[in-house]
C-alpha cells in the first residue's frame, strides 16, 4: 500500500520536500523578523513561502517546531558572521563587533534572536537558552558566578535591543565601545570601593 513517490518538475520527492521545508523555514524567519513570532501565523508563513498549509504540516508537526528551526537558522547566521569578523583585535572585542554588525545587517534576525522569546512553548525556551549560552561563551570566555554572567549578557543584549529600537543610530564602533566595559565587570570586593579617583 506504499504510495509511489514520483519525480516531479525534474526533482525527486525528497528534493521537493526538503526544498519546501527550507523555503518554509526561511519564510518563517522573514515573517517573524517583520511581525514577531506572535504574528508569524501558519497562514502568514505559508503565504511568504508561496506554499499552502498542507506543506507546512508535511514538514512540521506544529507551529512551535518551525519556530525552533527558524531560531536555529538565525543563530547560525549570527554566529557565522561573528566568526567572520574574528581575528583582528582582542577576541572579545571582535565578537562584540561581529555581533552588533550582524544585527545591523539583518534586523529581522535580531528580532527573532533577541526579542519575542517568551511564551512560545518549552521547545523554544530550550532552544533560546542554548543560544544564550553560546553567546555568553563568545563574550565571556573566562566564566564566573552565573549571576555575573547573566548580568554581562543581559547588558549586551539590552544594549542591542535599545540600539535596534533606535533604528541603528550610533555607529557600530561606538556601540562596541559602550558594550565592551560590561564584559570586564567583575564581582565587587564587598566593602571599600574607592570613591574618588
Partner DNA sequence: ATAATGTGATATTCTAGATTGTCAGATTGT
Partner DNA sequence: ACAATCTGACAATCTAGAATATCACATTAT
Residues in contact with DNA by the rule CB under 7 A: 3-10, 13, 16, 41-43, 50-57, 62-63
Does position 46 interact with a copy of itself (CB under 8 A)? The reply is: no
Looking at beta carbons only, is 54 or 197 nearer to DNA? 54
C-alpha cell at 117: 522569546
Q: Please report where in the chains the cell 539590552 appears, as a residue.
A: 158
* Rounded Cα distance, 158 and 179, in Å: 10
From the list DNA, a copy of itself, none, pick the one residue 158 interacts with, judged by a Cβ distance below 5 to 8 Å according to partner type.
Answer: a copy of itself
Residue ranges in 73-112 that form contacts with a copy of itself under rule CB under 8 A: none
Looking at residue 145, the DSSP 8-state letter turns out to be -
Q: Which of 180, 159, 157, 182 is nearest to 170 (CA)?
A: 159
Looking at beta carbons only, is 25 or 156 nearer to a copy of itself? 156
Does position 133 interact with a copy of itself (CB under 8 A)? The reply is: no
**CB of residue 184 to a copy of itself, shortest distance in Å:** 8
Decide: 128 and 71 in contact? Cβ < 8 Å: yes
Taking residues 172 to 191 in sequence order and writing x for each that binds a copy of itself by CB under 8 A, - otherwise, the string is ---x-xxxxxx--xxxx-x-
Give the sign of the dihedral formed by CA 64, CA 65, CA 68, CA 70: negative
Question: How many of the other CB atoms lie within 10 Å of CB of 174?
Answer: 12
Q: Please report where in the chains the cell 514538514 appears, as a residue.
A: 59
Does position 116 interact with a copy of itself (CB under 8 A)? The reply is: yes
**CB of residue 129 to DNA, shortest distance in Å:** 22
Decide: 29 and 73 in contact? Cβ < 8 Å: yes
From the list a copy of itself, DNA, none, pick the one residue 166 interacts with, judged by a Cβ distance below 5 to 8 Å according to partner type.
Answer: a copy of itself
Decide: 55 and 18 in contact? Cβ < 8 Å: no
Binding residues for a copy of itself (CB under 8 A): 36, 38, 115-119, 145-148, 150-159, 161-163, 166, 170, 175, 177-182, 185-188, 190, 193
Amino acid at each position: 500500500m506504499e504510495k509511489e513517490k514520483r519525480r516531479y518538475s525534474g526533482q525527486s520527492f525528497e528534493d521537493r520536500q526538503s526544498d519546501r521545508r527550507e523555503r518554509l523555514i526561511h519564510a518563517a524567519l522573514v515573517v517573524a523578523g517583520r511581525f514577531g513570532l506572535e504574528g508569524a501565523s501558519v497562514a502568514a508563513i505559508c503565504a511568504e513561502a508561496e506554499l499552502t498549509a498542507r506543506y507546512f504540516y508535511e514538514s512540521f508537526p506544529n507551529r512551535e517546531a518551525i519556530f525552533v528551526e527558524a531560531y536555529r537558522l538565525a543563530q547560525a547566521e549570527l554566529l557565522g558572521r561573528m566568526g567572520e569578523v574574528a581575528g583582528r583585535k582582542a577576541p572579545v572585542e571582535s565578537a562584540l563587533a561581529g555581533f552588533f554588525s550582524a544585527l545591523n545587517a539583518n534586523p529581522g534576525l535580531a528580532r527573532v534572536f533577541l526579542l519575542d522569546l517568551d511564551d512560545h512553548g518549552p521547545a523554544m525556551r530550550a532552544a533560546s537558552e542554548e543560544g544564550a549560552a553560546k553567546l555568553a561563551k563568545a563574550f565571556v570566555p573566562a566564566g564566573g558566578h552565573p549571576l555575573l554572567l547573566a548580568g554581562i549578557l543581559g547588558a549586551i543584549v539590552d544594549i542591542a535591543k535599545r540600539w535596534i529600537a533606535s533604528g541603528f543610530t550610533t555607529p557600530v564602533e561606538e556601540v562596541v565601545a559602550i558594550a565592551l566595559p560590561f564584559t570586564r565587570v567583575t564581582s565587587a570586593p564587598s566593602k571599600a570601593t574607592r570613591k574618588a579617583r
